[in-house]
Amino acid sequence: MGRMLRLFAVLFILSSIAIAGIGIFLYARFVVPGPLAGDAVVIVARGSGIDSIAQLLVSAGVIENNVIFRLGARTLGRERPLQAGEYEFPRGVSVRGAMEILQSGKTVVRRVTIPEGLTTVEILDRLAKTEGLMGVIAQAPADGELLPETYHFSYGDSRNDIVRRMQTAMRETLDDLWKRRPAGSPYDSIGKLVTMASIVEKETGRADERARVAGVFVNRLKIGMRLQSDPTVVYALTEGKTLYERALTRADLETASPYNTYVNAGLPPGPIANPGRASLEAALNPAESSDLYFVADGTGGHSFARTLAAHNQNVARWRAFLKNRPSTE
């Protein structure tokens, strides 16, 4: 009897040692640096289970053995489930490190940059071509409702969500600016402010000119002079839905449209693009001057004038520049 007990004791000790050895071996494989030679991005689809995720990581070269990952995820990772999404794994990440990354939910941050001055159609087209965003935009907002800037998102986020965020950002920006509008503001509504800002946005891309351009248009409004803004004519011709790549003709300037500020006095009935915050601020705080005219000067900026005679001289210089500049063909 005693011999049997001693035998069982020896077998128990040996099996315990063997189990402990196996455990040590498996844990060592769990924490040792993996085979990944460089950073890698892997997308884990929604609904993926531990087995399919393990195989995905093996296929991507993140880990060597899916058994170690599966054991680790089922034992050490029970309280923190693996999450779907797009993840970046660093070079040499261990199985444990890969598991913890998937548990963290810290997915790759993507970004889409919307330049100032695009129409809503152009913005939606850009979102439609942005990789990582999903779904079809349910309803197109009006021009002037979206705030151009850089938006961050994760793989699988919806395009509708980005549009809603852009709308919210524009509303919040307008609420903030409108509360701080100066006394004697030339606008009696936020809509007119956005409309003016959209014209300023399309007229100049230079930060140091925005307020001055806005000042010219405000001066014209005050004396009942037509704005005569070429971008409003382009919008009248395209409705913001297509690109316009040729020079405007005299016939274009006579286009019958409420957006044509060569034909109609005052502001057009709505924005002709989606202005950024800088143009909104410039429109709300136009430069004080007597300028009534401006024309391109060939340097990316504009020449401003108070009188028609001075403006005609600036126009002549601009036409001479166009005539004498080297051909790009």
pLDDT in tens, the chain (329 residues): 555 555 554 444 544 444 444 445 445 567 889 899 999 999 999 999 999 999 999 999 999 988 989 988 888 767 789 999 999 999 999 999 999 999 999 999 999 999 999 999 999 999 999 999 999 998 999 999 999 999 999 999 999 999 999 999 999 999 999 999 998 888 999 999 999 999 999 999 899 999 999 999 999 999 999 999 999 999 999 988 887 778 888 999 999 999 999 999 999 999 999 999 999 999 999 999 999 999 998 888 999 999 999 999 999 998 888 887 765 54
pLDDT reported for residue 241: 82
pLDDT reported for residue 80: 86
Give the separation between CA 112 and CA 96, rounded to whole angstroms. 32
Rounded to 5°, the CA angle 283-286-292 comes to: 110
pLDDT reported for residue 43: 95
pLDDT reported for residue 24: 53
Give the separation between CA 78 and CA 291, rounded to whole angstroms. 71
pLDDT reported for residue 76: 75
pLDDT reported for residue 78: 73
pLDDT reported for residue 77: 67
What are the structural domain ranges in the chain?
32-108, 110-169, 183-324
Domain covering 32-108, topology: Dna Ligase; domain 1 (3.30.1490)
Whether the model clears a pTM of 0.85, i.e. scores above it, the answer is no
pLDDT reported for residue 3: 57
